[in-house]
Structure 1
Amino acid sequence: MPDDKNKLGYHDRSRVSGDEEYEVGYFASKFGLSIPQVRQLIAKHGNDRDTLEREAEALKGR
């Protein structure tokens, strides 16, 4: 089911939807990663934003 942009509650912000190009693209540009790298992070760690941000920082630092 597509992400409803009209529902801007807390729960929507706590996840990164791997199915939504704009969310993956934003996350990739925010951390200087490629789209495939972000998709790999989501596949490996799930879509929790806090976890993904922590892992993206670690990946960026390598």
Structure 2
Amino acid sequence: MADDKTIKGPQDSSRISMNEDYEVYYWTDKFGISRDRLQEAVDAVGNSSAAVEDYLKK
């Protein structure tokens, strides 16, 4: 099933999809960071939103 583009948050809030612009916007806004910083965090710890949040707190 395709993502519903009318939803403003992620379909699965436990994972971050860097391939969906609306999810990238949601997570960069939530964490107050740039897309590049989000990509750096996902590259470092994977796409788990909890792991990314922990990484960004360091």
Is the pair's TM-score, using the shorter chain for normalization, greater than 0.5?
Answer: yes
Query: Which residue in 1 is equivalent to 2:28?
Result: 28
**Structure 2 gap ranges (5+):** 5-10
Query: Which residue in 2 is equivalent to 1:53?
Result: 53
Normalised TM-score (structure 2): 0.71
Normalised TM-score (structure 1): 0.67
**Structure 1 gap ranges (5+):** 6-10
> As a proportion of its length, which structure holds more helix?
1
Query: 4+ residue stretches of structure 1 with deviation over 6 A?
Result: none
Identity, % of aligned pairs?
A: 33
| Whole-angstrom CA distance in 1 between matches of 2:39 and 2:23 | 11
Larger radius of gyration: 1
RMSD (CA atoms)? 1.8
| Whole-angstrom CA distance in 1 between matches of 2:28 and 2:38 | 6
